């Protein structure tokens, strides 16, 4: 055999192995980035059987999967939600597809968001006809997966919206799907936070997939069918910590805000009060904003559950149920904090530093420990010191107080 052909064959084989490895990593990274915002009634994971209705303007679109500023992406290599679900389900699940609605119904806006090789494939049919088609598919299905949200360029330049709720035509489709009585899973595409209080109150399951990239369709299928467990705001912190290289620093948005908008030393010291909580304690959780609460809200559900599990572990099963957790939002911050063993505040992204410092001072004057969400979660998960590595002074102070090496 010609030696040159052997060398070429070896190079090609190596390139294929390298590409396959990169594809696998892209798929896993995409799945790890998803956030399960709600899963009421255990709708997820989906069963690999029966009939599934797949609807929505983002259900069969490959070009928008990489998101904005993906100028070097090869859109032909992207996998849509439809292709991902079909590949994962095989012959076990019958998938019925209907677009149901456009991303937006305004043709001028659609032209602005269909640029840079990322068309939305605007459907010129009457919106009512499209909705009826989607409802017909839903009525024949056991469960509905609605791929909705924004297209890639809606968080890019010259086409962003001042209204960050779900576009009206998609909301109309969603209402019609929910009216069928079938369980609905909303797969939410977005390059920035969207205001979805109505969806949070009415849709049983919401999976935020951002713009998941080339392997997005496969990654979404992995999560929907339970082959990959999606992260939530608490679990993702622990998951990233366990998988990252030892030399890489780790922190969270909430910990960064503790340093930028508050007094990190005070908040770090406050987190250690978690060790003094007993089933007879009373804890205050304070939110800066007054958003519509989700079923699995981090302040109203996740952190209280962490505290109660700690009580069950430290004091015996059932002890966590005795712990009293009060929750306030916005400006409803009590003047008298002395009934509380600990105050756990959100990151305060909606407050300026002066306002947040006034709350810290109030707690200090009453000798009530105060910390924030990120620090409390890191402490509870046993990764407190790693979360403080980007802040050597706070970490040194912590170790000095606890006499750690």
User: For domain 23-231, is the CATH number 3.40.50.1700?
Assistant: yes
What is the rounded distance in angstroms from the CA atom of residue 280 to the CA atom of residue 271?
Answer: 18
pLDDT tens-digit readout, 166-188: 999 999 999 999 999 999 999 99
**Bridge partners, residue 55, by sequence:** 98, 146
Comparing 302 with 53, the larger pLDDT belongs to 53
Closest C-alpha to 323, from 353, 352, 344? 344
What is the rounded distance in angstroms from the CA atom of residue 121 to the CA atom of residue 80?
Answer: 14
State the average pLDDT for the chain.
87
Closest C-alpha to 230, from 257, 203, 212, 246? 212
Q: What's the confidence (pLDDT) of residue 164?
A: 87
Q: What's the confidence (pLDDT) of residue 103?
A: 96
Q: What's the confidence (pLDDT) of residue 6?
A: 47
Give me the CATH topology for the region 253-402: Rossmann fold (3.40.50)
So where are the chain's domains?
23-231, 253-402
Q: What's the confidence (pLDDT) of residue 259?
A: 85
What is the rounded distance in angstroms from the CA atom of residue 77 to the CA atom of residue 101?
Answer: 25
Starting at the edge strand found earlier in the chain, the sheet holding 51-55 runs: 35-39, 205-210, 184-189, 143-149, 51-55, 94-98
Supply φ then ψ for residue 23, to 5 degrees. -65, -45
Domains 23-231 and 253-402 share a fold: yes
pLDDT tens-digit readout, 215-269: 999 999 999 999 888 755 555 666 666 666 777 777 877 888 888 888 999 999 9
This prediction has a pTM of 0.63
Mapping DSSP onto H, E and C, the string for 369-395 reads CEEEHHHHHHHHCCCHHHHCCCCHHHH
């Amino acid at each position: 055999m010609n030696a040159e052909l052997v060398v070429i064959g070896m190079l090609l084989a190596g390139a294929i192995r390298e590409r396959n490895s990169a594809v696998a990593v892209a798929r896993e990274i995409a799945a790890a980035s998803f956030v399960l915002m709600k899963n009421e009634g255990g709708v997820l994971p989906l069963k690999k059987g029966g009939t599934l209705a797949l609807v929505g303007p983002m259900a069969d679109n490959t070009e928008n999967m990489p998101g904005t500023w993906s100028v070097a992406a090869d859109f032909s290599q992207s996998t849509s939600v439809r292709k991902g679900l079909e590949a994962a389900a095989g012959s076990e699940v019958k998938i019925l597809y209907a677009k149901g609605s456009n991303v937006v119904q305004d043709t001028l806006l659609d032209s602005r968001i269909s640029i840079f090789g990322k068309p939305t494939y605007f459907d010129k049919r009457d919106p009512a006809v499209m909705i009826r088609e989607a409802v017909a598919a839903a009525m024949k299905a056991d469960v509905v997966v609605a791929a909705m949200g924004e297209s890639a360029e809606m968080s890019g330049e010259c086409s962003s919206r001042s209204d960050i709720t779900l576009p009206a035509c998609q909301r109309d489709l969603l209402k019609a799907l929910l009216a069928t009585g079938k369980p609905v899973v909303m797969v939410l595409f977005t390059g920035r936070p969207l205001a979805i209080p109505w969806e949070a109150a009415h849709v049983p399951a919401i999976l935020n997939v951002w713009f998941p990239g080339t392997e997005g369709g496969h990654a979404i299928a992995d999560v929907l069918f339970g082959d990959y467990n999606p992260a939530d705001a608490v679990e993702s912190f622990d998951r990233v910590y366990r998988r990252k290289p030892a030399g890489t620093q780790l922190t969270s948005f909430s910990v960064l805000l503790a340093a930028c908008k508050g007094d990190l030393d005070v908040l770090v010291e406050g987190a250690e009060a978690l060790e003094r909580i007993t089933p007879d304690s009373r804890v205050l959780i304070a939110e800066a904003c007054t958003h519509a609460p989700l079923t699995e809200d981090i302040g109203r559900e996740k952190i209280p559950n962490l505290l109660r599990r700690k009580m069950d572990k430290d004091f015996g099963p059932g002890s966590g149920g005795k712990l009293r957790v009060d929750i306030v939002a916005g400006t409803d911050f009590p003047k008298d904090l002395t009934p509380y063993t600990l105050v756990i505040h959100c990151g305060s992204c909606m407050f300026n530093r002066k306002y947040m410092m006034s709350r810290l001072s109030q707690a200090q004057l009453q000798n009530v420990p105060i910390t924030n969400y990120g620090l409390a979660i890191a402490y509870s998960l046993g990764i407190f010191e790693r979360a403080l590595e980007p802040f050597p002074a706070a970490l040194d102070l912590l170790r000095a107080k606890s006499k750690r090496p």
